[in-house]
Structure 1
Amino acid sequence: MYDVLVIGGGNAALCAAISARRSGASVLVLESAPKDFRGGNSRHTRNLRCMHKAPMAVLTDAYTEEEYWEDFMKVTGGMTNEPLARMAIRQSETCMQWMMQQGIRFQPSLGGTLHLSRTNAFFLGGGKALVNALYRTAESLGVEIEYGSEVRELKITDGRFTSALFSRRGFSHEVRAKALVAASGGFQANIPWLKKAWGDVAENFIIRGTPYSNGNILRLLMEQGAKTVGDPTQCHAVAIDARAPRFDGGIITRVDCVSLGIVVNKNAQRFYDEGEDFWPKRYAIWGRLVAGQPDQIGYSIIDSKAMGTFMPPVFPPVEANSIRELAGLLKLDPAALEATVNEFNGAVQPGAFDHAIMDKCATAGLTPPKTNWARRIDKPPFYAYPLRPGITFTYLGVAVNESAKVIMQDDKPSKNIYAAGEIMAGNILGKGYLAGIGMTIGTIFGRIAGEEAARYVKA
């Protein structure tokens, strides 16, 4: 019998396990992935978004609660649980210090991400280093960890968890605990579930993160009477390189040059304003936009002026000396792509181009317009990146309260079930995404879930 059982192995799960253990509880972590692939999507992360009133550590200037909230409202359109969202924003001010106490180190923003130096703290060594630090700390505190352990059944009666059945190395085991923390991610790696929500277009989706986020724990909680929040079609969906692997390609497959050129579909037609806002505030809309195009494919087109001004992805661009040649390599209609580029070039208005600010270099008389960073595509060589929808995590999840307790169908909190991370992020993220906020949600609610679970078992 353990005090606290944590299901999951990423940032939220480890934050919960560490917090519960530091609060005096015995803790077991069940991670479905093998040890070499532990950490869920946290392995691929780079940073978290932090409120701060003054410069601190690697963060510059200040990023107030109200500015954070305004940025958040722009991407979610108000589709959020405001008390939970504001709580996460306020408590994000403590994230860096707490993480450093767990052995995590930070670094200044890298070239190509300098505009995030005020809002986002970057992990030294990236997500893998973050995960390794959290596991080292958890193990040093006496947290027990079982890898390759997939939970098959949860025993819950009248909102009270008693035990879980899990399989490991072909054998079934039952573990009893006084409290449960579910931190096992969304259902994004479950293609049949995605197809139920999206239809057959989901066959063309690429899953950026772990293949182990199959939604099993979410499904089990739903079957046992947990209340859900979120739309199953809402998710963190990014335009990534169409040549990426089906699973686990991570952040290096993201294509960050969308705002520096134009994006066309398979008919060589533009379909959205590429300059609507800074990339960290708008990159997560492009997965859904590409998903809405024929065959769920798009192409980011730039010229040589843009090269070197964005974080390069892992795959090299398709390169050609003319737009017509580029179209041929992409198997697009050459005349149609030439016409689209010529129409765009003719609509670009004079201005002082500066990709570091909202420069208002825009088009005129063009539909859709480009409202910032509009610059003629006219200097060879020309480059293109093929794009597919890259799903990071889904927003359908379990409802929670400010103590991270799972809410049941009768709108009452469960007695001893808590949730953290992607499995409950839909409480805060009704739609859209803000760079780094997923890690913020996981860290804050992981800490809360662990502390509250320990408090419950010690009461």
Structure 2
Amino acid sequence: MTQAYDIVVIGGGNAALCAAMTAAETGARVLILETAPKPYRGGNSRHTRNFRCMHTGPLGPLVDDYSEDEYLADLIKVTGGKTDETLARLAISSSEECLPWMQDHGVHFQPSLSGTLSLARTNAFFMGGGKSLVNAYYRTAQALGVDVLYEAAVRHLELDGDQITRVDYSHAGQNRSVSPKSVVVASGGFQADTDWLTRAWGPAAQNFLIRGTTYNRGIVLADLIDQGVQTVGDADQCHAVAIDGRAPKYDGGIVTRLDCVPFSIVVNKNAERFYDEGEDVWPKRYAIWGRLVAAQPDQVGYVIIDSKSLDLFMPSVFPPLKADSLQELAQMMDLPAGTLEHTVSTFNAACSDSADFHPTELDGVSTTGVTPAKTNWARPICDPPFYGYSLRTGVTFTYLGLKVDKTAQCSTANGPIKNMWAAGETMAGSILGQGYLAGFGMTIGTVFGRIAGREAAAYAN
């Protein structure tokens, strides 16, 4: 490198871009090192579609209001209290100012999608999805003078005492180095490294599908851990969703997610139910199903619905299997037909009056006398044709990451690293101890990306 840079940002997704733009607006000279080639830039952010936003009164596409306390309560519920409340409140309270900032930096929004999402009050949807957001940010970053190197794989950050002195990476077949004044690490988790997943989860991880980019392999994370940078979170905690079993091994994205679970029964390969499909509205509980399926034999589950539920959820990217009888559907799905018919008849007998059925909110239409119970949206599965999907565990991102403070700064046991900050999935475990809340990953990335960019620029300047 012949040009001197004030700041190097490692990663090319939402958090990295927010950091780069924020730093560049102070006059800092910024370089983004993105491992992916240009067509695949953006990490997991290109697969997103919304971010969760606190607001007092209507804001942009958001209706009504969504208070800090309600937002935090939603987060506490899905994480089981495993969160750093100080950092969580910082992410939540800062999210309100993010929406107009995002618009100012090229992002366009649209009304929320219909179906089981029902997020018009809580989540702002990107027009064109995450790919459009990523493209808009790269255009803005370029206009601000940010340089980007694609296919630049960072291998090592030299930690000398309390500061990073050198960033080593490969590009165009050569090993190169750069020595910036500040570094922002926004290179995601390690979910694309199935060997690392297997060390954390055991052999079951070999059956997992990876929803996002193939480039988040945790190379930078592992390098920093080896040098004593403090971490947070558990290696076996992650944002894992039950996705269509026909999805590709990598990079299937958000379209492989299935939103039909609340209106179904879900069985394992033995045709037995194993959890309450109607526990809560889908945006708050969809992320637990990846872990639930992971605990089943062969890490697979099967969704069973009937014709009256087919139009109640977002259409699937692959059409469901269709049969005129449960026996025929069981044969198509390689399930024991007799057991499936018994499971469905037992469930149907436990359903009560469904007159109060309401697909977009908790309706209390529940079962009685069956285990596990279904506590909402419990209607008999009795109207042919019947439909089925296979489910696999789809990992979005891992929660073992870099521990940060409220300024996004990283530390060792000896104290803060003077010139290194982290943002996005690589530090999300600081807030997400377990579980997930729809759109919250983009909130964390946006808030802490801006903080990291601001702090890195202040140090460099």
Shared fold (TM-score greater than 0.5)?
yes
Contact conserved, 1:401 with 1:413, CA < 8 A, in 2? no
* Aligned residue pair count: 457
Question: CA–CA distance in 1 between the matches of 2:78 and 2:43?
Answer: 25
1:179-198: CA deviations, max 9, x gaps?
10000000000000000000
Match of 1:382 among 379, 386, 392: 386
Q: CA deviation at 1:113?
A: 5.1
Q: In the alignment, which residue of structure 2 is the partner of 1:112?
A: 115
Q: In the alignment, which residue of structure 2 is the partner of 1:206?
A: 209
Tell whether 2:433 aligns with 1:408: no
Gaps of 5+ in 1: none
Partner secondary structure for residue 386 of structure 1: strand
Q: CA deviation at 1:56?
A: 1.3
Question: CA–CA distance in 2 between the matches of 1:398 and 1:188?
Answer: 15
Contact conserved, 1:416 with 1:453, CA < 8 A, in 2? yes
Question: CA–CA distance in 1 between the matches of 2:192 and 2:413?
Answer: 26
Match of 1:271 among 257, 271, 274: 274
Match of 1:357 among 336, 357, 361: 361
Q: In the alignment, which residue of structure 2 is the partner of 1:61?
A: 64
Change (3 A) 1:67 1:44: same
In structure 2, what residue type is equivalent to 1:231? D
Contact conserved, 2:116 with 2:282, CA < 8 A, in 1? no
Q: In the alignment, which residue of structure 2 is the partner of 1:436?
A: 439
In structure 2, what residue type is equivalent to 1:333? P
Question: CA–CA distance in 1 between the matches of 2:100 and 2:421?
Answer: 24
Q: CA deviation at 1:357?
A: 1.5
In structure 2, what residue type is equivalent to 1:342? S
1:215-240: CA deviations, max 9, x gaps?
01111111121101001100000000
In structure 1, what residue type is equivalent to 2:365? C
Change (3 A) 1:114 1:204: closer
Q: In the alignment, which residue of structure 1 is the partner of 2:263?
A: 260
Q: CA deviation at 1:409?
A: 2.5
Match of 2:176 among 158, 173, 176: 173
Q: In the alignment, which residue of structure 2 is the partner of 1:224?
A: 227
Q: In the alignment, which residue of structure 2 is the partner of 1:289?
A: 292
Question: CA–CA distance in 2 between the matches of 1:61 and 1:291?
Answer: 38
Question: CA–CA distance in 2 between the matches of 1:23 and 1:345?
Answer: 63
Partner secondary structure for residue 278 of structure 2: coil
Q: CA deviation at 1:157?
A: 0.7
Question: CA–CA distance in 1 between the matches of 2:374 and 2:218?
Answer: 38
1:4-39: CA deviations, max 9, x gaps?
000000000000000010122110000000000000
Tell whether 2:345 aligns with 1:342: yes
1:130-153: CA deviations, max 9, x gaps?
000000000011000000000111
Question: CA–CA distance in 2 between the matches of 1:103 and 1:45?
Answer: 16
Contact conserved, 2:45 with 2:131, CA < 8 A, in 1? yes
Question: CA–CA distance in 1 between the matches of 2:343 and 2:300?
Answer: 17
Gaps of 5+ in 2: none
TM-score, with length taken from structure 1: 0.99
Tell whether 2:125 aligns with 1:122: yes
Partner secondary structure for residue 434 of structure 1: coil
Contact conserved, 2:117 with 2:282, CA < 8 A, in 1? no
Question: CA–CA distance in 2 between the matches of 1:445 and 1:23?
Answer: 17
Contact conserved, 2:244 with 2:258, CA < 8 A, in 1? yes
Question: CA–CA distance in 2 between the matches of 1:114 and 1:178?
Answer: 44
Moved more, 105-114 or 360-369: 105-114
Identical-residue share of aligned pairs (%): 60
Tell whether 2:100 aligns with 1:97: yes
Question: CA–CA distance in 2 between the matches of 1:224 and 1:273?
Answer: 44
In structure 1, what residue type is equivalent to 2:358? D
Question: CA–CA distance in 2 between the matches of 1:445 and 1:46?
Answer: 19
Partner secondary structure for residue 350 of structure 1: coil
In structure 2, what residue type is equivalent to 1:324? Q
Question: CA–CA distance in 1 between the matches of 2:411 and 2:125?
Answer: 33
Match of 2:17 among 9, 14, 17: 14
In structure 1, what residue type is equivalent to 2:395? I
Q: In the alignment, which residue of structure 2 is the partner of 1:45?
A: 48
Q: CA deviation at 1:159?
A: 2.3
1:73-102: CA deviations, max 9, x gaps?
100111011100000000001111000010
TM-score, with length taken from structure 2: 0.98
In structure 2, what residue type is equivalent to 1:246? K
Contact conserved, 1:6 with 1:29, CA < 8 A, in 2? yes
Q: CA deviation at 1:111?
A: 1.9
Q: In the alignment, which residue of structure 1 is the partner of 2:334?
A: 331
Tell whether 2:407 aligns with 1:398: no
Q: In the alignment, which residue of structure 2 is the partner of 1:311?
A: 314
Q: In the alignment, which residue of structure 2 is the partner of 1:197?
A: 200
Tell whether 2:37 aligns with 1:34: yes
1:282-304: CA deviations, max 9, x gaps?
00000000000000000011001
Question: CA–CA distance in 2 between the matches of 1:313 and 1:95?
Answer: 31
Partner secondary structure for residue 115 of structure 1: coil
Partner secondary structure for residue 2 of structure 1: coil
Contact conserved, 1:189 with 1:212, CA < 8 A, in 2? yes
Tell whether 2:196 aligns with 1:186: no
1:293-347: CA deviations, max 9, x gaps?
0000000110010111100121110110001100000000000000000000000
Question: CA–CA distance in 2 between the matches of 1:153 and 1:440?
Answer: 28
Question: CA–CA distance in 2 between the matches of 1:6 and 1:390?
Answer: 28
Moved more, 304-313 or 266-275: 304-313
Contact conserved, 1:186 with 1:396, CA < 8 A, in 2? yes
Question: CA–CA distance in 2 between the matches of 1:116 and 1:442?
Answer: 20
